[in-house]
Amino acid sequence: MNLAEILHLDQFAPNVSAPDRWRVIDTLIDLLVRLGKIRPEDRPVVVKAVKDRETSNGTGIGYGLAIPHASVACLTAPLAVVARLNPPVDFQALDDQPVNLCVLLLTPAGQAQKHLQTLSAFARFLNNKTRRDQLANARTREEMLAVFQTAA
């Protein structure tokens, strides 16, 4: 899967500041609402789905990464936001390290296979230390997008 196909320039946030993981999630969902990717009336359902998932099983996977994710009925295609967190935020990661790179992933309900494929594609992509470092050091949305485009 080519992740650059579902990521557009406006879906990168190079400098998100939030006090905790819950506010990070709210901030990224609010960005998608402002962009018109999520309807305002669907926001509460999306927030609940992502936070329920985060509560049941944390999404901090280690190496400074978190991939909060959920399936929601209001979408017809996968949707993601990539954010660089400054300062890093505690996502209760497996390695107990704070998170400086967060990918919010949303997929349509009823498409479990697509959800797993997309989540797996992000995990594989971010498993590469060079890419993680490039994203961690990116200062602009353009620089962040270029990391995904050059790997395609």
Catalytic residues: 69
Cα separation of 130 and 135, whole Å?
9
Residue ranges per structural domain of the chain: 3-151
What's the pLDDT at 4? 84
pLDDT score at 150: 84
Give the confidence band of 96 by pLDDT, cuts at 50, 70, 90.
Answer: very high
CA distances from 48 to 45, 53, 119 (A): 5, 8, 19
Q: pLDDT by residue (tens digit) across 20-69?
A: 999 999 999 999 999 999 999 999 999 999 999 999 998 999 999 999 99
CA geometry: angle 122, 50, 118, nearest 5 deg = 20
Pick the CATH number of 3-151 from 3.40.50.10860, 2.60.40.10, 3.40.930.10, 3.20.20.450: 3.40.930.10
**133 pLDDT above the threshold of 70:** yes
Round to whole Å and give the CA distance between 107 and 74: 9
Q: Identify the pLDDT of residue 152.
A: 59
Work out the percent of the chain whose per-residue pLDDT is above 70.
99
| Lookup: tokens for 143 | 């620089």
- 45 exposed, middle or buried (CB, 10 Å; 0-12, 13-18, 19+)? middle
pLDDT of residue 2: 81
What pTM does this model have? 0.95
pLDDT (average), residues 116-139? 93
